[in-house]
A = this chain, B = another copy of it.
């Protein structure tokens, strides 16, 4: 039996709620594939679901390897382990990269919303030197940012559209696989199945 909104989203919202006393509960690991065909994996911050959908938002710097990698292969898998409730969500899907040059006005607007939703400290990072490049002589860090200024050119919104979710609850040894299929009218339809842990 399929459902339009996957029940995994409710399980994830519950996990976020029951682990919300831990700062790191909004951190997860994002795996991508590099142009060499080797996997990459790093911790990123959950920036909420996009509006009423099940699409997951991540902020990043356009100058990072992950953006380069996603241009080459748009697929990614999130592994999100909740350390207090012992739940794991593996969320696989395709990532849409929304940068300053996006021609879609709706997406440009979502990027702007995400920019203003992040802290001034977070925004300042995009004005710093290129992440991952060798450290040069101490450049003084920029300390001030106009709070009303729009997204920096390096600011990038990643939107992951999930099509498979593997849920594992280690406290009760239960594992559920959620799989998405598109219906005739292009709507997402989620099915679930209990699988061996």
Contact = CB atoms under 8 A, between A and B. Distances in A.
Contact of A83 (B24, B33, B193): B24
A76 interface: yes
Interface residues of A, number: 41
Given A31-B39, A131-B196, 19 more contacts: A22-B83, A29-B79, A31-B40, A33-B38, A33-B39, A38-B73, A39-B39, A39-B76, A41-B77, A41-B78, A42-B79, A42-B90, A43-B81, A83-B83, A130-B196, A132-B195, A133-B195, A134-B196, A135-B194
A128 B30 CA distance: 30
Contacts of A83: 22, 24, 83
A135 B197 CA distance: 9
A153 interface: no
Interface of A: 22, 24, 27, 29-33, 37-43, 73, 75-79, 81, 83, 88, 90, 92, 128-135, 175, 177, 193-197
